[in-house]
Amino acid sequence: MAKKSPPPSSADSKLTSAEGTALRALGNGESTVSEVVGRLASEGLRTDDAVKALLALERGKKVTMQESRPYASVASYAWSPLSIWFWATVGAVAVSLALISVTSGAALYLRYVFGSALVLFLPGYSLIEALYPKRELDELTRFALSIGLSLALVPLTGLALNYTPFGIRLVPVAISLAVLTVALLCLALSRKYGYYRLSKGVI
pLDDT tens digit string along 22-79?
A: 666 666 566 676 777 777 777 777 777 777 777 777 777 677 766 667 788 889 889 9
CA distance linking residue 185 with residue 162, whole number of Å: 25
CA distance linking residue 110 with residue 106, whole number of Å: 7
CA distance linking residue 99 with residue 110, whole number of Å: 8
Render pLDDT for 90-137 as a digit per residue (tens, 0 to 9).
999 999 999 998 888 889 999 999 999 999 999 999 999 999 998 788
Type of residue found at 124? G
With the C-alpha atoms ordered 160, 91, 88, 187, is the resulting torsion angle positive or negative?
negative
pTM exceeding the 0.85 threshold for the entire prediction: no
